[in-house]
Amino acid sequence: MNVQGATGMAARFDFDLFTLGAGSGGTRASRVSASYGARVAVAEERYLGGTCVNVGCIPKKLLVYAAHLREEVEAAVRGYGWTVGPQRHDWATFVARKDEEIQRLNGVYAKLLDDAGVRRIEGHANVVDPHTVEVDGKRFTAEHLLVATGGWPSVPEIPGREHVITSNEVFHLKDMPQRVVIVGGGYIAVEFAGIFHGLGAEVTLLYRGPLFLRGFDDDLRQGLADELHRQGIDLRFDTRVTAVERGDAGLVARLEGGDGLTADAVLYATGRQPLTREIGLEAAGVELDAQGAVVVDELSRSSVPTIWAIGDVTDRMNLTPVAIHEGMCLARTLFRDEPTVPDHEDVASAVFSHPTIGTVGLTETEARERYGEIDVYRSRFRPLKQTLTGSEERTLMKLVVDRASDRVVGVHMLGPEAGEIVQGFAVAVKARATKAQFDATIGIHPTAAEEFVTMREPAG
Ligand SMILES: Cc1cc2nc3c(=O)[nH]c(=O)nc-3n(C[C@H](O)[C@H](O)[C@H](O)COP(=O)(O)OP(=O)(O)OC[C@H]3O[C@@H](n4cnc5c(N)ncnc54)[C@H](O)[C@@H]3O)c2cc1C
């Protein structure tokens, strides 16, 4: 393929690379490309750092902490001899603190780009032709264009959709809603159910399918549903919302069959769409799929040879570390003459529900399909901390092993700190560790994580 370094394309274009969107992927691709000597510009229309920093991972995780601190305090009182005064959460104080931190991060992103020598341009970027971008009436040319515009929440066309909020608005609510209806079955819906429940709201989660978190291991899905139900979250599967109305006592989510649920906020977390509209891609000849995602080859090149795309806009694996990885691979491909294919195998991820899910590799169902003969090791127990609090919470840990090679092909956990724990085990899965090597590893006692190296009897 024709990959060019920064040298030799001197003045034909204003830049070697022009990136649309300074989110997770666009920022990293721009910075790394500049560090390889490329002349880079990046246009950002809304906020530096993109979804993750402003309305995604970071503010969400801060909210998760806010919500679950309540349980910590309760556990301290119930099981550990503490006495504390009356508890009250002040939403406005939290939002102000969170906004300060996000602002700080926006500054960090600006500095990272500036220090790398990337030219930052504020405004909406529009592709004019395979080498030209327009931002607020000003045209820039580049050898390569990179589309890293991310995604946007999508809400179905139901009557009253103007009353609902999405993850874009939820972080900026003026008041904490006391009754929340959440619609959706993905990780964002599940996380916000835990957040609002933890902050003391009455939460109903509605999902049109039979069980949330499609694509995750079935034991984790069911285990989490049991836990949320036990905590008092009203979970309703196989349930559809037909309309949202504004009534005297608040918003009413009207269900199929006619029943209505009254709430202060109706949060739709029903998926995200790639942000490819009104940025000139189709006119430039860039192929989009039925969902609007940029179709790319394995090196992230679109159907137009000078236009590349990474991150959520390609709808491959919509996670921040993946967008960053794709950005680094692209910089290497374009400006180091090292064509580098992003690796989407065995990417670990977490659901910051309560308890948390951490997962890497194949689910039991996927492993059975791929390998046929597998062994599954499962352990379910009460976390040590809860032995004194009386909580019924259970941790679930699971290993999936390909019987023929003895390789551990899936590590799954539902329990406290599952994300932190599974991140470590993801290295072992990536390194193709065998069950025998897991068994040869001595555990750290007493931890939950030691269970992953002490499970001896397959469950089936
Ligand atoms: C509520 C929520 C929670 C999440 N939690 C996690 C998590 O815990 N872990 C995780 O790994 N991922 C999480 N994600 C997903 C993660 O945020 C995305 O995968 C990641 O941000 C994708 O990066 P990106 O660079 O593709 O796009 P983005 O980060 O969305 O960046 C795209 C940027 O492009 C800009 N832009 C768009 N169009 C234009 C234009 N025409 N001109 C100029 N600028 C433009 C946008 O303003 C934006 O800043 C979460 C997402 C949401 C919504």
* pLDDT of 55 above 90: yes
Question: Using CA atoms, how far apart are residues 258 and 266, in angstroms rounded to an integer?
Answer: 17
Q: Which tokens go with 153?
A: 């929440």
pLDDT score of 403 more than 50: yes
Closest to 249 in 3D by CA, of 269, 234, 264 = 264
For 108-126, give one letter per residue: b (16+ CB within 10 A) or e: ebbebbeeeebbebeeebb
Q: Give the mutation target among 51, 109, 191 for probing the ligand 1 site: most ligand atoms within 8 A of CB.
A: 51
So what's the pLDDT on residue 460?
A: 57
Q: pLDDT value at position 353?
A: 97
- Contacts of residues 438-441 at CB distance under 8 Å and 24 or more positions apart, as own/partner, are 438/399, 438/408
How many A from CA of 114 to the centre of ligand 1? Answer: 21
Closest atom of ligand 1 to 278 CA is 41
**Residue 224: both structure tokens together:** 């989490």
Q: How far is the CA of 133 from the centre of ligand 1 (A)?
A: 21
DSSP 197-240: HHTT-EEEEE-SSSSSSTTS-HHHHHHHHHHHHHHT-EEE-S--
Tell me how far the alpha carbon of residue 20 is from its chain's centroid: 21
Q: Which neighbouring-strand residues pair with 349?
A: 359
Contacts of 184 (CB under 8 A, 6+ apart): 207, 268, 269, 270, 271
Residue having the nearest C-alpha atom to atom 50 of ligand 1? 56
Kindly give the distance from the C-alpha atom of residue 363 to the centroid of ligand 1, in angstroms, as a whole number: 26
SS3 state at 429? helix
CA atoms within 13 A on the CB side of 173: 20
Q: What is the pLDDT of residues 94-152, one digit of tens each?
A: 999 999 999 999 999 999 999 999 999 999 999 999 999 999 999 999 999 999 999 99
Instruction: Report the nearest-CA residue for atom 17 of ligand 1.
Output: 52
371 — phi, psi (to 5°)? Answer: -110, -15
**pLDDT tens track for 405-446:** 999 999 999 999 999 999 999 999 999 999 999 999 999 999
Question: What percentage of the chain has pLDDT greater than the value 70?
Answer: 97
Residue with tokens 């515009």: 149
pLDDT at 2 over 90: no
Q: 256, exposed or middle or buried, with CB in 10 Å at 0-12, 13-18, 19+?
A: exposed
CA of 56 to the centre of ligand 1 (A): 7
Residue 445 bears catalytic tag:
yes
Range 370-388 average pLDDT? 97
Residues lining ligand 1, judged by CB closer than 6 Å?
20-26, 43-47, 50-52, 56-57, 60, 124-125, 148-150, 167, 188, 275, 279, 311-313, 318-321, 323
Max CA pair span of the chain: 72
Contact (CB, 8 A) for 361 and 409:
yes
Helix (H, G, I), strand (E, B) or coil at 330: helix
Is the predicted pLDDT of residue 5 greater than 50, yes or no?
A: no
What is the residue with the minimal CA distance to atom 6 of ligand 1? 57
Tens digit of each residue's pLDDT (9 = 90 or more) over 224-239: 999 999 999 999 999 9
- What pLDDT does residue 412 have? 98
Question: What is the predicted pLDDT for the residue at 9?
Answer: 46
Cα separation of 38 and 47, whole Å?
24
In the chain, the amino acid numbered 56 is: G
| DSSP secondary structure of 174-193 | SS--SEEEEE--SHHHHHHH
**Which pairs from 56-59 meet CB under 8 Å and 24+ separation?**
56/167, 56/320, 57/320, 58/101, 58/102, 58/105, 59/98, 59/102, 59/171
The pLDDT score that the predictor gives to residue 1 is 36
What does the alpha-carbon distance between residue 137 and residue 172 come to, in Å, rounded to a whole number? 31
pTM of this prediction?
0.96
Residues 6+ apart with CB under 8 A from 227: 354, 355, 393, 394, 414
Q: Best mutation site among 20, 52, 195, 286 for ligand 1, i.e. most ligand atoms within 8 A of its Cβ?
A: 52
Q: Which protein residue has the closest C-alpha to ligand 1 atom 1?
A: 56
- The pLDDT, as a whole number, for residue 258 is 87
